[in-house]
Amino acid sequence: MIYLIITLFAAAAVLGLIVLLRWTRKVDGTATVIYSHGIAAATGLGLLAWYAIQHPENYPQLSLILFVIGALGGFYLFFVNLRTKAKPVGMGMVHALVGVAAFIALLFFAFT
C-alpha cells in the first residue's frame, strides 16, 4: 500500500507543479489539472491515514502531519482562486515546499 501512496503523491506533485508554473506565468491552470491534483493528493492522504490506522506502531508520522498541513494550504489556495480568481503564487510555493518535505519524509520511511 505504501508504494501506491507514493505513486499518488508523485502524480499529485507533477500536477501541482504544472499548476504552479502556469500561475507564475500569470496563466490560469486548467480545471482538469487542478482537480486531478486535488483528487490524487486527497486519495494519497486518505490512504496514508488508513495506513496509520492499520499500523499504529509504525507509520510515517512526520509525513502525515506535513501532508495534512499541505492539504489545508491547498484548500486555502483552491477557495481563494475559486472566489476571486487570484493566484497567490507565494502561498502556492509554501504549499509546494511543505508537500515536497512530506514526500521526502515518506520516501525515507518507505526506503530506510
Question: Stretch 102-111: mean pLDDT, rounded?
Answer: 98
Residue 51 burial by Cβ neighbours in a 10 Å radius (0-12, 13-18, 19+): middle
| pLDDT value of residue 107 | 98
What are the angstrom distances between the C-alpha of 55 and each of 2, 36, 45, 95, 100? 11, 28, 15, 27, 23
Which pTM was predicted?
Answer: 0.93
| pLDDT value of residue 85 | 83
pLDDT > 90? residue 87 = no
| pLDDT value of residue 28 | 83
